[in-house]
Structure 1
Amino acid sequence: MSEGNAAAAPEALPESAQRVAGLLAGLGHDRPVVMLPATGKTSAEAAAGLGCSVAEIAKSILFRRLADDAPVLVIASGSNRVDEDKVAARVGALGKADARFVREKTGYAIGGVCPIGHRVEPLMLIDRDLFRYQSLWAAAGHPHAVFNLTPSQLQAMTGAEVADVAQDAQR
């Protein structure tokens, strides 16, 4: 973590990040929620603020399953584009999730969707490429809030299936 980022006292966090900090504490997670000085809405912005590689950002991408409007959350490496066909092959045909759908189903705004603590439990997949890294950063409920964890902790917290969800390089 770079010098400019410090763990914020829980009461100093935005309300949505306070909720995530509480969820993490309830899970026994010992790493704090960190506030970025600038937005972490994109993987590149978050990586620049944290001093890590874009690939170490565990970005949360929400889709809408067409059959039943169920939320489908894919947690992907920040350096990967999600292959919607690969995801659809596992969970069914997908549609785009607009900002209203994202907020309604997760309780978070786009750019701050956390892997845990959703209003509606999503079907969830984790990008297998994330397991190449010892340390990851995920959104903590707000576009400026993140937390650090290992790929194994991410899988344990979410119970999500680990899958190949990345577009092939030649695409």
Structure 2
Amino acid sequence: MHERAAEFAELARDRHGVDLDVLEFDAGTETAAAAADAVGCDTAAIASTIVVSLAEPERETGPENLVAAITSGANRLDLDAVAELFGAASAEMADPGRIREVVGWSIGGVPPVCHDAALPTVFDPTLASYDTVYGAAGTPSAVFAIDPDDLADLAGATVVDVTE
């Protein structure tokens, strides 16, 4: 198992008391479509984690005004809706370097849980329509399967639609 995927599995066990079965794929899983193809599920069952940077938020955020959104791979994140939810002047996709520095993971493999810093997290209700969803497990070629309600609980996420 890739070192980062093993680290993710260990963090999940240590921080959340769960043993997650990490699946790795040679073809890669860095996009929702690629992950769905690898796993053999609907693209909508992929739980993509997107880190967003907010300008002048009124609500509490994570370090450097970052928040996380766990969305269905079939949906597109509405940055304006995220900004509105947090009372921010605007929202944009966070810089990859800031994500790595603050969250501890690189884009393409950012898991929905086990971040270095606590980020307020929103959860796409579309994911709840599946028995099992798949989230990134720390690398662009690793995912893990989980019940969507359990994932929302582990992430401390607020279920709210912030998709287009």
Q: TM-score, normalised by structure 2?
A: 0.89
**Equivalent position to 1:37, from 26, 34, 54:** 26
Structure 1 stretch displaced more, 71-80 or 23-32: 23-32
Aligned to 1:60, what secondary structure does the other structure show?
A: strand
Maintained 8 Å contact 1:37/1:49: no
Separation in structure 2 between the aligned mates of residue 16 and residue 63 of structure 1, nearest angstrom: 22
Q: Which residue in 2 is equivalent to 1:77?
A: 72
CA contact (8 A) 2:9 2:20 kept: no
Equivalent residue for 1:3?
none
Matched residue count: 155
**Aligned equivalents of 1:70 and 1:120: distance in 2?**
11
CA deviation vs aligned residue, 1:32-55 (integer Å, no higher than 9, x gap)? 111112111100000000100100
CA distance in 2, matches of 1:141, 1:39: 12
Instruction: State the AA in 2 paired with 1:59.
Output: S
Residue in 1 aligned with 2:10?
Answer: 22
1:46–1:57 Cα contact (<8 Å) kept: yes
Match 1:47 to one of 33, 36, 46: 36
What is aligned with 2:115?
A: 118
2:50–2:93 CA contact under 8 A, matched in 1: no
For residue 23 of structure 2, what is the amino acid of its counterpart?
Answer: V
Give unpaired runs (5+ residues) of structure 1: 1-12
C-alpha RMSD of matched pairs (Å): 1.3
Q: Which has the larger displacement, 132-141 or 27-36?
A: 27-36
Runs of 4+, deviation exceeding 4 Å: none
Corresponding residue of 2:147: 150
For residues 56 and 100 of structure 2, what CA distance do their matches in structure 1 show?
20
User: Partners of 1:59 and 1:96 in 2: how far apart?
Assistant: 13
Q: CA deviation at 1:20?
A: 1.0
Cα deviation, residue 25, structure 1: 2.3
Q: Give the AA of the match of 2:8.
A: V
Structure 2 unmatched ranges of 5 or more: 58-63
SS in 2 for 1:165: coil
The Cα of 1:24 is off from its aligned counterpart by 2.4
1:141 matched to 2:138? The reply is: yes
State yes or no: 1:87 paired with 2:82. Answer: yes
Q: Equivalents in 1 of 2:31, 2:94: separation in Å?
A: 17
